[in-house]
């Protein structure tokens, strides 16, 4: 089946530092990658849509300068949380849809990254 | 944009009973409705999905029904087991090129009492 590998699974960083989260599609080409954020006991909220070779599209209220998204290849998308603050602590998860001709596995999710900013 | 509402937020059933979770959506262009099970700290796992060209789909103890006219869909779990305890999310999107993100419901915490 389609697999999305996400790293790191957990990260603790100090306030003011930056953290990069990577999502790789291992056996399919992810033209589009979606980035979600999930607070404890809450739903997944879409942050941005990452398109290979072009700028990401951010949802209303999400600061594009704080959450930098890069989708340089068909198999890799990264989310960088810049100048992290404790309120950025959350579960970040990526998702991709393999698309026509690449199987019928539905939207595939990465394993998530638990970010804790201290 | 799409808006998905999900009820109930919590559901407690006895082992062996049935559980029903309901969702409504707002965008008539949505045509793909998956259901996910998420355990604490884990990724959502697809348990069943339905497309708008069918009204019902079943997979062993799990079934999903869709009413396009009313814009609502439901998850039915029969003969519940303790391992069914988790948070369940419904979602909706327009599945054309895969460039539209899923919009999730608020989630239902299902607890199956042994």
Is the CB of A46 less than 8 angstroms away from the CB of B103?
A: yes
Minimal CA separation from A75 to chain B, in Å: 15
Q: Is the pLDDT of residue B97 over 60?
A: no
Q: Give dist(CA B64, CA A2) in Å, integer.
A: 23
Residue B80 is encoded by which pair of tokens?
């519940």
In this prediction, residue B46 carries a pLDDT of: 93
The rounded mean pLDDT for chain B is 94
Q: Which of B34, B42, B107 sits opposite A107 (nearest CB)?
A: B34
Question: A34: which chain B residues are within 8 Å (Cβ-Cβ)?
Answer: 101-102
In this prediction, residue B56 carries a pLDDT of: 96
Beta bridge partners of B13: B112
Is the CB of A44 less than 8 angstroms away from the CB of B44?
A: yes
Does A3 touch chain B if contact means CB atoms closer than 8 Å? no
Question: B21: which chain A residues are within 8 Å (Cβ-Cβ)?
Answer: none
Work out the average pLDDT over B31-47. 94
Length of chain A measured in residues: 118
The kind and range of the H/E element at A88 are none
Question: A45: which chain B residues are within 8 Å (Cβ-Cβ)?
Answer: 104
Work out the average pLDDT over B12-29. 97
Confidence band, pLDDT 50/70/90 cuts, at residue B5: very high
Looking only at the bridges linking them, the beta strands covering B86-92 and B32-38 are antiparallel
Closest-CA residue to A91 (of B46, B43, B104): B43
């Amino acid at each position: 089946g389609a697999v999305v590998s996400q790293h790191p699974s957990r990260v603790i960083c100090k306030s003011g530092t930056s953290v990069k989260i990577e999502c790789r599609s291992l056996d399919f080409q992810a033209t589009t990658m979606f980035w979600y954020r999930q607070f404890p006991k809450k739903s997944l909220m879409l942050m941005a849509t990452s398109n290979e070779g072009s700028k990401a599209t951010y949802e209303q209220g999400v600061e594009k300068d704080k959450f930098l998204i890069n989708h340089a290849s068909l198999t890799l998308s990264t989310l960088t949380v810049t100048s992290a603050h404790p309120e950025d602590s959350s579960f970040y998860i990526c998702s991709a849809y393999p698309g026509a001709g690449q199987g019928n596995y539905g939207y595939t999710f990465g394993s998530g990254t638990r970010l804790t900013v201290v | 944009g799409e808006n998905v509402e999900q009820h109930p937020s919590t559901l407690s059933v006895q082992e062996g009973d049935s559980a029903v979770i309901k969702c409504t959506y707002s965008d008539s262009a949505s045509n793909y409705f998956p259901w996910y099970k998420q355990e604490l700290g884990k990724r959502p796992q697809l348990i069943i999905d339905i497309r708008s060209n069918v009204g019902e789909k079943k997979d062993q103890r799990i079934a999903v029904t869709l009413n396009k006219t009313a814009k609502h869909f439901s998850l039915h779990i029969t003969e519940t087991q303790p391992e069914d305890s988790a948070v369940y999310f419904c979602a909706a999107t327009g599945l054309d090129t895969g460039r539209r993100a899923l919009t999730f419901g608020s989630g239902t915490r299902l607890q199956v009492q042994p």
